[in-house]
Amino acid sequence: MLSIIAAVSANNALGKENKLLWHLPADLKRLKELTMGHHLIMGRKTFESLGRPLPGRPHIVISRDINLKFEGVTVVDSLEKAFELAKEDNQPFIFGGAEIYKQALPFIERIYLTRVNETFEGDAYFPELDMNNWELVSKLDFEPDEKNKFHYSYEEYKKRS
């Protein structure tokens, strides 16, 4: 079940200048729980913004530069090669960023979206979801607290068959 995991603002912003726009520790914890042990497939820019692989998850980084090397990750030059490498995994995750989400979307079955209920100006945006193709199967809303300063929701979408 190829899945997307992403955190987006009310206006679908993902990041700016190759950084995230908010700090939401609760969401980072959830991301860890959901993805632990699974392949993470991401664009070269997203990997550079992480700086290093996250523990316990094989990383596949997509770049057009076939000579690119990063320690502890596999670099491939197409989405198809990334899917092939992760095919034994029952739930590989597309980890971003905007370019990779957009290209991967036609192949995705599930989307785990954290919605931060504020507007942010970004330079990378999540693709608009056509709700004819996607069904919202669960939504959990959270109030701000001491550590998480925004209203946010966990939304899970399933591809309509």
Ligand X SMILES: NC(=O)c1ccc[n+]([C@@H]2O[C@H](COP(=O)([O-])OP(=O)(O)OC[C@H]3O[C@@H](n4cnc5c(N)ncnc54)[C@H](OP(=O)(O)O)[C@@H]3O)[C@@H](O)[C@H]2O)c1
Contacts to ligand X by CB under 6 A: 6-7, 14-15, 18-20, 42-46, 49, 62-65, 77-79, 95-100, 103, 124
Q: Tokens 């969401």 sit at which residue?
A: 27
Shorter beta-carbon distance to ligand X: residue 15 or 92:
15
Q: Tokens 């094989």 sit at which residue?
A: 58
CB atoms inside a 10 Å sphere around CB 25: 10
Shorter beta-carbon distance to ligand X: residue 65 or 143:
65
How far apart, in whole angstroms, are the C-alpha atoms of residue 28 and residue 39? 17
Shorter beta-carbon distance to ligand X: residue 63 or 91:
63
Is cis: bond before 15, omega within 30 of 0?
no
The two tokens of residue 17 are 């200048």
In the complex, minimum distance from the CB of residue 114 to ligand X, in angstroms, rounded to a whole number: 7
Strands (E), 52-121: 59-62, 74-76, 93-96, 110-116
In the complex, minimum distance from the CB of residue 83 to ligand X, in angstroms, rounded to a whole number: 12
How far apart, in whole angstroms, are the C-alpha atoms of residue 104 and residue 106? 6
In the complex, minimum distance from the CB of residue 137 to ligand X, in angstroms, rounded to a whole number: 19
Shorter beta-carbon distance to ligand X: residue 70 or 134:
70
In the complex, minimum distance from the CB of residue 158 to ligand X, in angstroms, rounded to a whole number: 19
CB-based contact 58:41 (threshold 8 Å): no
Shorter beta-carbon distance to ligand X: residue 14 or 161:
14
1 in helix, strand or coil? coil
In the complex, minimum distance from the CB of residue 35 to ligand X, in angstroms, rounded to a whole number: 12
